[in-house]
Structure 1
């Protein structure tokens, strides 16, 4: 069995004296592990850094085996990512989100979004923050817990949406939500208006929203904690 594709490095684990087990995100084969012989060499260490894009040749005797990777570098962006807190914590956070997915399950939308995110982690913190927030919304949707922020759950209107129901994950308009606002989650305006950019306060509110649903549907049921990289990234992107 074998296949060839491009992949993005999420991380590695030592295996023996000279090899590593690499974890990659691919577009059509999802999150995939493979043995890289000689992966601890100086040349390969530079390639096997989180955020780098590589050409992958996977081979195994049977499809269900972990198999081995042969890798060639394509885009080495890890060095630039490590130069800022946003880049460093951003690539770690995105990788932790992708690890919530089952192995070898294709998520092409997330792969494409991951590429866009990586290419913007070295620029504006607000831009990177907004892209990460939308990446978290996509993660929730791919896991089956997507939020409906397009229209009011009470009236069906698509304007003046300022709340989200913590029970249903659906948006609620200002007027129908006013009597219940103490029990609703805040929805920043840039998340529903295409012509508005995020600011620091809006980003913090948006990340509080996605954190609630990640904790409720993912972290708590699986018995895991919110990644420290998320706390650090939100602080860096919204300051």
Structure 2
């Protein structure tokens, strides 16, 4: 068995005395692991770092084996990420999010969005919007999508302003008015119609995605939310 693809390194761990198991995200093969012989050598020290893009060749005797990777540099970002606390935290969070995906299950849109954010020097608001949409897509592709297609009560497709914390379904302002204190605000960046300032909208977006990530993913898997997430969000909002 063999395939070749470009991939983003999202995690590494030691294996034996000299080898490293790298965890990568590719467009064609999804989240995929493989062994790199000699991966702890100086030759690979700068290459096998999360956030780097590499050209991969994966080989295994059978499809369900761990397999071996050979790797070549495509774009080494790790050093530049270390120069910015915000970019480093963003990269770490994206990698943690992608490690939630099923192994070998392709998610090309998430992969493309993650690469774009790694290479984007946009302002804090633009990155915050992109990250919130990424978390929204992550929930959807894991099977726990927030339904913003139509009001859960009236069926209307316009004027959606709130989301139920229990069902994840959106409602209009009129339908949710009596319960708005118990509902999540749905900002425009996530498909809503609620008018909000930039900082308020970003805070609302991450409250919404964070709730459902905890409800459906972190808590059932007995995981803690990524430690850098809240500090990154606060930093992005503060920069507005």
Same fold (TM over 0.5): yes
User: Aligned equivalents of 1:199 and 1:79: distance in 2?
Assistant: 31
SS at match of 1:63: coil
In structure 2, the partner of 1:12 is: 12
User: Aligned equivalents of 2:205 and 2:65: distance in 1?
Assistant: 40
- Is 1:88 aligned to 2:88, yes or no? yes
5+ long unaligned stretches in structure 1: none
Measure how far apart 1:154 and its partner are. 2.2
User: Aligned equivalents of 1:33 and 1:232: distance in 2?
Assistant: 29
Measure how far apart 1:193 and its partner are. 6.4
User: Aligned equivalents of 2:201 and 2:191: distance in 1?
Assistant: 12
In structure 2, the partner of 1:77 is: 77
TM-score, normalised via structure 1 length: 0.92
Matches within 5 A, 1:156-167: 156-167=155-166
In structure 2, the partner of 1:171 is: 170
TM-score, normalised via structure 2 length: 0.92
User: Aligned equivalents of 1:108 and 1:163: distance in 2?
Assistant: 29
SS at match of 1:168: coil
Matches within 5 A, 1:174-189: 174-189=173-188
Q: Is the 8 A contact 1:81 1:88 kept in 2?
A: yes
Give every structure 1 segment of 4 or more consecutive aligned residues whose post-TM-superposition deviation is greater than 3 Å.
Answer: none
User: Aligned equivalents of 2:44 and 2:124: distance in 1?
Assistant: 30
SS at match of 1:47: coil
Q: Is the 8 A contact 2:129 2:189 kept in 1?
A: no
Q: Is the 8 A contact 1:86 1:125 kept in 2?
A: no
SS at match of 1:230: helix
RMSD, aligned CA: 1.9
Superimposed CA distance per residue, residues 3-47 of structure 1 (whole angstroms, 9 cap, x where no aligned partner):
111110002111233221111001111111111112122331211
Which stretch has the larger CA shift, 41-50 or 55-64?
Answer: 41-50
User: Aligned equivalents of 2:9 and 2:197: distance in 1?
Assistant: 29
Rate the CA distance shift 1:60–1:190 in 2: closer, same or farther, 3 A: closer
